[in-house]
Amino acid sequence: MSTTTIDNKPVVPEEIKSFTVTLIIRRFNPEVDDEPHWQDFDVQLYPTDRVLDALHKIKWEQDGSLTFRRSCAHGICGSDAMRINGRNRLACKTLMKDLDVTKPIYVEAIKGLPLEKDLIVDMEPFFDSFRAVQPFLMNSVTPVKGKERIQTVAQRARFDDTTKCILCAACTSSCPVFWTDGQYFGPAAIVNAHRFIFDSRDENAAVRLDILNDKEGVWRCRTTFNCTDACPRGIQVTQAIAEVKQAIMRGKA
C-alpha cells in the first residue's frame, strides 16, 4: 500500500490578462456635424478580442450612438469592412493580438463611397458596379430533368478563388483609382465577373468581357495590389483582374 500524499492543488489555467486599448474612431453624425471628427475611447480587452468586440463594448457600455454595420460577426456576411490603422479589414476578423496595442488603434469608414454616419457608407455605387457585370449564371440549355450541369474538377478549380467573395467592398474601397474615379468598376465587380467568365457552364463570357473592355473597365487597373492586400477572403484580386485583361486580349475566356 502506498501512502503517497497527493498534492491536491487544482490545475488552475494561467490567467489571461486584459489590457486597456485606446481606439480613435472617426465619427460623423449628419444631423449635427459639418465635418467628421476623431474621438477616442479606452476599452478593457483581451488579446483574443477583435476590433468588433471593442466597438461593441463602446456601443454597449460607453456611447450608444456609435454606428456601424455588422451581422454574422464571423467573416461571412461582409458587412463590417472598415479602415483599421489605415488598412481595409473586417472588424470581426481583426484580433487585438495582431495589432500593436501600445499605440491607439484608428478606426474609420472605408473610403471612396459616400459617408452616411460614423462607420457606415452608402454601398449603392458599389453594388451598381457589381450588378453591371451580370453576376449570375447564363445558360440557354436546360439540363435534363433531375440532372446537374456537369463540370470537371479542373473546370471548377479554374474560378474557385473568385467564388469566395463576400462583397465586403474592402478591395474596391482600397483602390486609389476608385478613390479618384468613382466611375471605375473596381476590383470587386471584376472579381465577380471573373467568377462567371471562367465558369465552363456559363455561355456569356463574351458579354462580360465586352462590359469590362470599357474606358472605366479593367484597363483602369494600375496593379497597385491594394485590393489583394485588403481582401479578407485571401482572394488574389489583382491576379483575377490580370486574367480578365488577358481574356479580353485573347477575345475569349
Residue numbers of the site for ligand SF4 (CB under 6 A)? 165-171, 187-188, 191, 230-233, 235, 237
Nearer to ligand SF4, 96 or 230 (CB): 230
**List 78, 125, 187, 232, residue binding other proteins (CB under 8 A):** 125
For residue 164, state whether it binds ligand FES (rule: CB under 6 A).
no
Which one of ligand SF4, other proteins, ligand HEM, none is in contact with 179 (Cβ closer than 5 to 8 A by kind)? other proteins
For residue 112, state whether it binds ligand FES (rule: CB under 6 A).
no
Which one of ligand FES, other proteins, ligand HEM, none is in contact with 180 (Cβ closer than 5 to 8 A by kind)? other proteins
Which one of ligand FES, ligand HEM, ligand SF4, none is in contact with 191 (Cβ closer than 5 to 8 A by kind)? ligand SF4
Name the site residues for ligand HEM (rule: CB under 6 A).
Answer: 222-223
Shortest gap between Cβ of 140 and other proteins (angstroms)? 21
Which one of ligand HEM, ligand FES, ligand SF4, none is in contact with 125 (Cβ closer than 5 to 8 A by kind)? none
Taking each helix axis as running N to C, give the angle between helix 237-250 and helix 187-197, from 0 to 180 degrees, rounded to the nearest 10.
60
Q: φ, ψ for residue 21 (rounded to 5)? A: -120, 140
For residue 232, state whether it binds other proteins (rule: CB under 8 A).
no
Shortest gap between Cβ of 90 and other proteins (angstroms)? 19
DSSP conformation letters of 76-126: SS---EEEETTEEEEGGG-BGGGS-TTSPEEEEPPSSS-EEETTEE--HHH
User: By beta-carbon distance, which residue lies closest to ligand HEM?
Assistant: 222
Burial state string for 187-215 with b = 16 or more CB within 10 A and e = fewer than 16: bbbbbbbbbbbbbbbbebbebbbebbbee
Q: How many residues are there in the chain?
A: 253
- Cell digits for 70? 455588422
- Cell digits for 207? 458579354
- 84 in Cβ contact with 54 (< 8 Å): no
What is residue 140's DSSP assignment? S
- Cell digits for 219? 484597363
Residues within the interface to other proteins (CB under 8 A): 36, 38, 85-86, 106, 111-115, 125, 128-129, 131-132, 177-183, 210, 213-217, 219, 245, 248-249
